[in-house]
Chain A
Amino acid sequence: MRLHSSSVAERGRDLLRLPLKTNRDVVAARQAVARELKARGARPIRVTRFATAVSEIARNTVLHGGGGSFAVFLDPASGYLMVECRDAGEGIADLDRAMTDGYSTGGSMGRGLGGAKRLADRFEIETGPGKGTRVILGARL
């Protein structure tokens, strides 16, 4: 298991938990996050950036991870709104490569992981072959 960035956020109470199995779940997840951000007064640009990051990561959970789950919570230390997407799929063997823009094993854009990292205020990933994938995204409020 490799940690791509600093420590994984200490977990506050979940505000929301949803399954991530289908295309429709991906839409529900990113819309839920947009609602939570707006309810906390986030500006449109921040809502769009973060919801886009969530859409990319949630789609990966469904498409590459074989489905999983989605949770929204507040990080008590930073006050950030946090999102976790996790799956028990095959995991990512070469994370540096997967993070590179343009690299895809699915014949798609290969810009989801790198893009999400740029768009979110916090980005953490735990993955490894046979270990599933867990991505945490954070938005400053």
Chain B
Amino acid sequence: MSGVAAINLVENALLVSIQDDVTDTDIIELQDTLSQRIALEENIRGVVLDISALEIVDTFVGRVIAQLAGIARLLDAQTFVVGMRPAVAVTLVELGMYLPESRTALSLTHALAQLKRG
């Protein structure tokens, strides 16, 4: 899958870095892959999406992230979005996009620490 770096399992979380050239197809594939892994593998408590490479998050990518967080939650896992650039945050607000089920964290370390606390 291009547009997305490898998925790594760290402690009890699946970690993925999304690349700036991510296409709609890539992000849908990622949503599928992650949902399946959460459902099938035991002990996965969280998904951490590193979006620090993303210069933009538009309504499509925003919706897929929000849906993924919703699916993960149904499967008893939390989704963290880390590394959102300030410009991206401002733009999402202007688009009227919210990522309700996901939690944002400033860094990977913060996300993992929060997951540990439960």
Q: Is the CB of B20 within 8 A of A31?
A: yes
- Interface residue B97 (Cβ < 8 Å from any Cβ of A): yes
- Select one of A24, A52, A101, A109 contacting B56, CB under 8 A: A52
Total contacts A to B, CB within 8 angstroms? 71
Residue from B24, B60, B63, B87 in contact with A48 in the complex, judged by beta carbons closer than 8 Å: B87
A23 and B56 within 8 A (CB):
no
B23 touches A52 (CB 8 A): no
A-B contact pairs, 19 of them (CB 8 A): A27-B23, A31-B20, A34-B55, A34-B56, A44-B85, A48-B56, A48-B85, A48-B88, A49-B87, A51-B55, A51-B56, A52-B91, A56-B59, A59-B58, A101-B96, A111-B97, A115-B59, A115-B96, A119-B94
Out of B23, B60, B94, B97, name the residue touching A49 (CB < 8 Å).
Answer: B94
Q: Which residues of B contact A (CB under 8 A)?
A: 20-25, 55-60, 62-63, 85-88, 90-91, 94-97
Give 6 closest A-B pairs by Cβ, nearest first: A48-B87, A23-B23, A115-B95, A109-B59, A45-B87, A55-B58
Which residues on the A side are within 8 Å of B23 (C-beta)?
A: 23-24, 26-27
A interface residues, tally (CB under 8 Å): 25
List residues of chain B with CB within 8 A of the CB of A52: 56-58, 91, 95
Docked complex: A84-126 residues within 8 A CB-CB of B: 101, 108-109, 111-112, 115, 118-119
A22 to chain B, nearest CB (A): 8
Q: How many angstroms from the CA of A59 to the CA of B59 in the assembled complex? A: 10
Select which of B25, B86, B88, B96 is within 8 A of A111 by beta carbon.
B96
Chain B nearest Cβ from A42, distance in angstroms:
11
Considering the complex, give the chain A residue whose CB is closest to the CB of B23: A23
> What 0/1 pattern do residues 36 to 78 of A give for CB contact below 8 A with B?
0000000011011101100110010000000000000000000
Given the complex, which residues of B lie within 8 Å of A109, measured CB to CB? 59-60, 62-63, 97
